[in-house]
Amino acid sequence: MNDELSPDERAALRARIVGGARDITPAGAHRGAWIAGSVAALLVVALAGGVAATATLSAPPVASTPSPTPSAPLEPTPTPEPTPTPVPSTPPTPTVPPTQAAPSAAFGGDCSEVLTDEAATELSGTPMRAASFLPVWDARWLGGVDCGWRAVDTETWQALSVTVLPWASVPEAQRAKSGVVPECEGGAICDYSQRYGAAWVVVAASDASTAVSAADQVGARAALFPGGDRPLAATAWRLVDCEEQVRNAVATGLGRDDLRPIGTDNVPHGQVWDVLTARGHAAWCSFTAAADAVVDAPSLRVSLAAGARSDAEDVAAFGGDPISVTGADSAWWIPSQGGIGARILASAPGGVVEVEFSNLARDSAATITAGILGALE
């Protein structure tokens, strides 16, 4: 990790990265509007039988009359046949195919069903509480759920995250890592994964035994609520290489072409990240425009989430302020907080882009964000 960060900041960043999120704060009563509950409905169809009633018609009485006297027969007058009126035919009602509902999310997207605070505390050996986050990359886009817990003592670095994904959403290369117990050296956050029926559970913790125990505790229930795989939408961005796709837009916005990646090991990683990138849902890159000796050089960290969307209520809860960004359906400026620099979060038809920036004015950041959105269309 970057030695310039405090242990608590390093742990928070790793927890965000492994869990597929950029922010972790204690969860209060507010849970994002994006958390959708999974509700099962029972449809009962009643068939009613019809009863046809037949009325009996009685004939009039037959009168007895004398036989009439024969008379000369009359020529019958022909009665013209009425012209039949055509009956318009009713066109058949077109059959409308039923709308297919989106696959459900694992555990209905409810982290309280994954682990309680008490269970997280017992697993970690220290008081823990649920954390909420403002997602950029998120397992929910694949039919899963991302959950996190942090130590109640804010001076303690300890964190625990659990991700549940449908096994069907996991590419073959990542499946091979299931069941492999990691070596978590020096208290670094590492992750462990295992398959439970149709569910794939990934736990990030500071030691292997905690990760394995947490996965087993969640796994039996995850097998009952694995969620359904969600393919990338046709309108989503097609992410190939973040740096290659947006470099020109960043260079144009900064007015210089001497760009290089930021020198840091604080980069997205982990098994969940590998799945998101393999499925085309996520990409990340960074840029700075000066030599290492220049401490006030402009720099950017660009996070891309194809097919994702942001919720205004969620963003507002994290201090987001609406801002105008060309090409975005909605965008927010989020001030620096919790060890994360100021940033712009923008939603567009193709997905979500987050640009975290340093030594860059807000208007310049908005211009660069607009350029990135244009480069992705």
pLDDT digits (tens, 9 = 90+) for 179-202: 999 988 766 788 999 999 999 999
Give the chain's mean pLDDT.
78
**Looking at the predicted structure, is the pLDDT value of residue 88 above 60?**
no
* pLDDT tens for each residue of 122-154: 999 999 999 988 889 999 989 999 999 999 998
Confidence (pLDDT) at 44: 24
Q: Are residues 217 and 268 in the same domain?
A: no
Dist. CA 130–CA 222, nearest whole Å: 18
Asked, for residue 63, whether it belongs to a domain, the answer is no
Q: Calculate the CA dihedral of residues 181, 182, 183, 184 and round it to 10 degrees.
A: -120
Asked, for residue 213, whether it belongs to a domain, the answer is yes
Kindly indicate the confidence band of residue 48, based on its pLDDT and cuts at 50, 70 and 90: very low
Longest Cα–Cα distance of the chain, Å, equals 137
12 touches 277 (CB < 8 A): no
Confidence (pLDDT) at 311: 87
Of 187, 222, 257, the residue at which a domain comes to its end is: 222
Q: Are residues 204 and 280 in the same domain?
A: no
Both tokens of residue 255? 């007015």
Confidence (pLDDT) at 62: 36
Coil, strand, or helix at residue 115?
coil
Dist. CA 373–CA 283, nearest whole Å: 14
Kindly indicate the confidence band of residue 293, based on its pLDDT and cuts at 50, 70 and 90: low
Asked, for residue 124, whether it belongs to a domain, the answer is yes
Q: Are residues 116 and 148 in the same domain?
A: yes
Asked, for residue 251, whether it belongs to a domain, the answer is yes
Confidence (pLDDT) at 296: 80
Domains contained in the chain, number: 2
Interval 348-366 mean pLDDT = 95
**Looking at the predicted structure, is the pLDDT value of residue 366 above 60?**
yes
Asked, for residue 333, whether it belongs to a domain, the answer is yes
Interval 192-213 mean pLDDT = 96
Residue of 21 and 267 predicted with greater confidence? 267
Confidence (pLDDT) at 107: 96
* pLDDT above 70 as % of the chain: 71
Confidence (pLDDT) at 292: 57
Q: Are residues 249 and 215 in the same domain?
A: no
Domain limits for position 271? 242-376
Both tokens of residue 4? 């310039």
Kindly indicate the confidence band of residue 297, based on its pLDDT and cuts at 50, 70 and 90: confident
Asked, for residue 81, whether it belongs to a domain, the answer is no
Q: Are residues 257 and 200 in the same domain?
A: no
Nearest to 206 by CA among 147, 276, 140, 157: 157
Q: Are residues 322 and 280 in the same domain?
A: yes
Of 188, 222, 256, the residue at which a domain comes to its end is: 222
Q: Are residues 171 and 249 in the same domain?
A: no
Interval 244-262 mean pLDDT = 93
Q: Are residues 248 and 352 in the same domain?
A: yes
Nearest to 305 by CA among 372, 227, 220: 372
Of 159, 193, 222, the residue at which a domain comes to its end is: 222
Q: Are residues 218 and 246 in the same domain?
A: no
Confidence (pLDDT) at 92: 40
Instruction: Give me the phi and psi of 73, to 5 degrees please.
Output: -65, 140
Residue of 57 and 262 predicted with greater confidence? 262
Burial class (CB within 10 angstroms; exposed 0-12, middle 13-18, buried 19+) of 85: exposed
Kindly indicate the confidence band of residue 102, based on its pLDDT and cuts at 50, 70 and 90: low
Both tokens of residue 145? 């759920």
**Looking at the predicted structure, is the pLDDT value of residue 376 above 70?**
yes
Q: Are residues 214 and 252 in the same domain?
A: no
Asked, for residue 66, whether it belongs to a domain, the answer is no
Asked, for residue 170, whether it belongs to a domain, the answer is yes
Q: Are residues 152 and 21 in the same domain?
A: yes
Q: Are residues 213 and 276 in the same domain?
A: no
